[in-house]
Amino acid sequence: MGVQVSWDTAAEQPPARRAAFASMTAVTAGDKEAWLGLFAGDAVVEDPVGPSLFDEEGKGHHGRDGISAFWDKTIANVERFQFTIRDSHAAGDECANVGTITTYLPGGYRVDTDGVFVYRVGEDGLITSMRAFWETERAMATARQVTE
């Protein structure tokens, strides 16, 4: 059995960790406006880092308009998200979360994406950078039809 993160919600958390978990909460709720509100106006989202189906040039999605388009292209097409964070490391203005994002897709498919998800915040607590390190081939290898 791996490490399990135990969360004392009454304890003060570093700003980047609070922002990361607020981001996951908004995604799970399907609340695009709440999610966009967590980002600074000049924020960059790289999910995944480097060239991908979602970002052919691998330069990230910039500003609220770019991040909004990323939501529409990716997050909006998922029926349900489940985040399992096995460990979380906060340092300075950043937080790296190690875990699995399980996505439930139309047609009864499920994909598990293992990765490291790094959030950086500004002094105002808004996310300035979100970088997700995961491998498309590894995630796609987990695709399966489920009946849950």
- Distance in angstroms (rounded) separating the CA atoms of residues 126 and 119: 10
Determine, yes or no, domain membership for 8: no
Q: What is the pTM of this model?
A: 0.91
Domain that holds residue 32: 14-145
The DSSP line for 24-77 is: HHHHHHT-HHHHHTTEEEEEEEESSSSSBTTBTTS--EEHHHHHHHHHHHTGGG
SS3 123: coil
Q: Please give the pLDDT value at position 146.
A: 87
CATH number at residue 41: 3.10.450.50
Consecutive H or E run containing 119: strand 109-121
Q: Is residue 5 part of a domain?
A: no
Residue 42 in any domain: the answer is yes
How far is Cα 85 from Cα 51, in angstroms, rounded to an integer? 25
Within a domain: 3 = no
pLDDT 10s digits, 16-68: 999 999 999 999 999 999 999 999 999 999 999 999 999 999 999 999 999 99
| Residue 27 covered by a domain | yes
